[in-house]
Each structure stands twice: as C-alpha cells, then as structure tokens.
Amino acid sequence: MAIDITKVLKKNQSALLEKWMTNQLADAGLRDDLMSNEDLRVESEELVNSLVSAISYSNLDNAESGDFDQVLEILGGISISRARQGFSPKETGLFVMSLKDALLNLLQQEVKDAKELYTLSNRVGRLIDHFSIATFETFIKGREEVILRQTDEITEISTPVIRVWDGILALPIIGTLDSARTQVVMESLLTEIVETGSSIAILDISGVPTVDSLVAQHLLKTVSATRLMGADCIISGIRPEIAQTIVHLGIDLSQIITKASLASALLYAFRSLKLEVRKVNDGNRFAVKN
C-alpha cells in the first residue's frame, strides 16, 4: 500500500520546519547580516505550510500542477526579495535545497519499506529540484531588474547638465559613450536647453578615457542635435593623446569648437556672449560683467 505523503507531512509538519531551520542556521554561509533569524523563520514557515497543504501522492510528479501555484508564488516573492537584498544565487538556491534535505531526512524516519522509500524520495527530490530551478530563474530576473535600475541611476548621475551661467550649460561626461548613453546625454541636454533658453552648451570629455570613431560619431550626433535647437556647442577636455587619436582616425572636427579645458571653453562662452571676466580688487575673487 502506497504511503500517504500528505498525512506523513501534516503529522510531522512542525518537525519538518524545525529540521529545515536547523539546516539553515547550521550553514556557515548564513547571511544574518541581510536577514534576521526571525524573518528567516517566518519565510520558512510560510513555505512549509503552503507545501504541506498542496502536496499529495498524485501530484508529486507534476510540478506544474495548479496545486503548487501558491508555493511557486511564495518562492517567487522570496527570490525577488533576496535579489534586492543582495543575496547570491547560490545562497538563494541553498535555501530551497536545504528544504529538500529536511524532507528526505523526514521520509527516511517515517517510511520503513526500502522500495517505497526509494521511490518516494526520488519523486520528492525531483519536485523540489523543479522548485529550486524556478526559484533560481526568478532570482535572476530580480537581479537583472536591480542591475538595470542601478545602471539607469548611475547614467543619470554621470551625465548632469549644469547651468554655469545665464545662457551657458555644461555637461561633463564621465566614462565611455555608447549608443544608449548618448541618447540619455542628448535628451538631458536638449531638455535643459529648452527649459533654460541657453544658447551655448559645453560638452566636457575630460572624464572620457578614450575616443574612437564610434565615440566621435556619438559626439557629432550630440553637437548636431544641439545646433538644431539653436544653441552653439563647444567640446572641451581634448587631451593631447585624444587629439592624436582623432587625427589618426581621420575624424573631422573642424566645424566644431574644441578647447583643451573646461576653463578655456567657459572663457570662450563668456566672450561669445560679450561677457567680461575680471578679478576684483582683493585679487581672490572674480566678477563677470556685460
């Protein structure tokens, strides 16, 4: 006669939870810096309760059964939460695998027939393995969302448009320019030109490590878009090695105003707007006048 696994698990539900908690707390890689033992117990108890309620002898071989929808939902929530908290894929996977160890240990204690134990253990093992894979897949999706969000935040921080004077904007670019980032740079710059009515924009590339033909094309696109908005564009931060690279690549920047430093570009912008920069009497401050 087949063992009624539902009765076995319900009878030993508390023991299963305690065994699983013991496995987790004994793990040398336990991240109690990211989650308290109390929160870990709450998560574990919720999952055990759902699994024990859902599992039966007839659905052991069908991990896609609707009976396990709540189990998968709980695992999905745990995976996303752990991805955001900073757990590694291995740590999240071991969370489920330690449950498998606890389940198999319980079956060894409760099922005396060796053949039945072997069959039941294999079926339970495959079921938990499926849950483990589903957990890992959800975790990866959660981690990708975190990475994309952080990338967007870093991009926004690294492309600030600064209003340095009435009619003058500066955009210091740090890091490598690619197509996606160029789009962000252009959108930020053009939006600020419209909002401030500025007539001069300075692109400072002092923080760009290298300039190749692709980066140069991205810069040219940004300059063209700025001109279409009715503003002049100055590229500053042209270091000697970058100047040599541009010449070797045969890139024509003759129609673009370029300066070696942001200070030089700013001075050029002042003169273009017929502004004069001079020291005040104490010699430690500067004043700008029309």
Nearest alpha carbon to residue 289 among 272, 267, 270, 262: 270
Same domain, 166 and 284: yes
Query: For residue 30, is it within any domain?
Result: yes
Same domain, 13 and 124: yes
State the Cα–Cα distance between residues 270 and 277, nearest whole angstrom. 8
Same domain, 138 and 170: no
Which pLDDT belongs to residue 287?
A: 56
**DSSP result, 104-136:** HHHHHHH---HHHHHHHHHHHHHHHHHHHHHHH
Same domain, 49 and 126: yes
Query: For residue 157, is it within any domain?
Result: no
Per-residue pLDDT of the chain (290 residues; tens, 9 = 90+): 567 788 888 999 999 999 999 988 887 777 878 888 899 999 999 999 999 999 988 888 888 899 999 999 999 998 888 888 888 888 888 888 889 999 999 999 988 888 888 988 999 999 999 998 888 888 888 888 878 877 776 666 666 888 888 899 998 888 777 777 777 788 888 999 999 999 999 989 888 887 777 878 888 888 888 999 889 999 998 888 888 888 888 877 778 888 888 999 998 999 998 887 777 666 555 555 56
Q: What is the CATH number of the domain that holds 277?
A: 3.30.750.24
State the Cα–Cα distance between residues 35 and 18, nearest whole angstrom. 18
Which pLDDT belongs to residue 211?
A: 77
**104, 127, 150 — which closes off a domain?**
150
Same domain, 129 and 172: no
Partnered with residue 174 across adjacent β-strands are 207
Query: For residue 111, is it within any domain?
Result: yes
State the Cα–Cα distance between residues 229 and 69, nearest whole angstrom. 54
Cα torsion 189, 192, 193, 198: sign: negative
Same domain, 107 and 30: yes
Same domain, 112 and 172: no
Contacts made by residues 244-253, CB under 8 angstroms, sequence distance 24+: 245/210, 245/211, 245/212, 246/211, 246/216, 249/212, 249/213, 249/216, 251/213, 251/216, 253/216, 253/220
Which pLDDT belongs to residue 202?
A: 93
Is the pTM higher than 0.75? The answer reads no
Query: For residue 155, is it within any domain?
Result: no
* Residue 117 backbone phi and psi in degrees, to 5: -65, -45
Secondary structure letter of residue 195 according to DSSP: H
Same domain, 69 and 183: no
Same domain, 13 and 138: yes
**150, 178, 207 — which closes off a domain?**
150
Q: How many CB atoms lie within 10 A of CB 14?
A: 10
Q: How many domains does the chain have?
A: 2
Q: Which two tokens stand for residue 114?
A: 């060796």
Q: Nearest-5° angle of CA 143, CA 147, CA 150?
A: 135
Nearest alpha carbon to residue 16 among 40, 37, 44, 57: 44
Range of the domain at 17: 5-150
Q: Is 146 exposed, middle or buried (0-12, 13-18, 19+ CB in 10 A)?
A: middle
Query: For residue 130, is it within any domain?
Result: yes
Radius of gyration of the chain (CA): 32
